[in-house]
Copies of this chain bind each other. A is one copy, B any other.
Amino acid sequence: MRVGVLGAKGKVGATMVAAVEAADDLEFSAGVDAGDPLSALTDSGTEVIIDFTHPDVVMDNLKFLIDNGIHAVVGTTGFTQDRLDQVQQWLDAKPGAAVLIAPNFAIGAVLTMHFAQQAAPYFESVEIIELHHPQKADAPSGTAARTAKLVAEARKGLPPNPDATSTGLDGARGADVDGVPVHSVRLTGLVAHQEVLFGTQGETLTIRHDSLDRTSFVPGVLLAVRKIAEHPGLTVGLEPLLNLG
């Protein structure tokens, strides 16, 4: 399989070039960065492209790729519903072309969300602890907030978490995200970590995801590259490519 990289000189792009070159079953076809002509992709016979570029250019990239029947695995951010609708429209006109757009390629993070949703109906209590380096600006993390919303959705109709707290300090019981308490720890030395804790009579279930370095997106991108051709049309999120049925 011939694989190209858009944004090939960016930090993430360069990591992906190296990863494609290191994979026995993939062949690196072309790297394109700002200023380079997109025709390098067609000239090199690229079958699948990895796009970690910028919201300003990604739509032009996708138009070109779809028109030329090159499948795209996209980690670039900034996809509004309008943009997704536009991509869908282009794909409708080009049967067989495939685009995957995912906000998070870390397989562990995707599985954590999936498992948390599956477990949610079967426990009385659920809380989330996320732990990150202290340079992080938002608390809770976007991933934790999203996980909490998904869990809350999966528990719809069930009684709320039991909680007899009657005296205490502000903040002790965490942030409330749709009824799910979320606790944010900021600690020098940490990278990005999340625990979803479930409890019922006599037992608890904990799903923990640890990102230990900045390359944890690599296996998920490679998995998407290998599977994208089996998923023509538009796919949002890595989850549909995993066999979680």
Contacts and interface: CB of A to CB of B under 8 A. Distances in A.
A216 B202 contact: yes
Contacts of A140: 168-169, 172
Contact of A200 (B129, B169, B219, B242): B219
A152 to B, nearest CB: 14
A204 B175 contact: no
Nearest to A217: B202
A195 to B, nearest CB: 9
Given A171-B174, A176-B169, A189-B204, A212 B209 contact: no
Contacts of A171: 170-176, 181
A182 B186 contact: no
A203 B199 contact: no
B125 A186 contact: yes
A107 B242 CA distance: 24
A165 interface: yes
A214 to B, nearest CB: 7
Given A139-B168, A199-B188, A244-B118, A111 B205 contact: yes
Interface of A: 106-109, 111-112, 114-115, 118-119, 121-127, 129, 131, 134-140, 145, 161-177, 181-191, 197-219, 223, 242-245
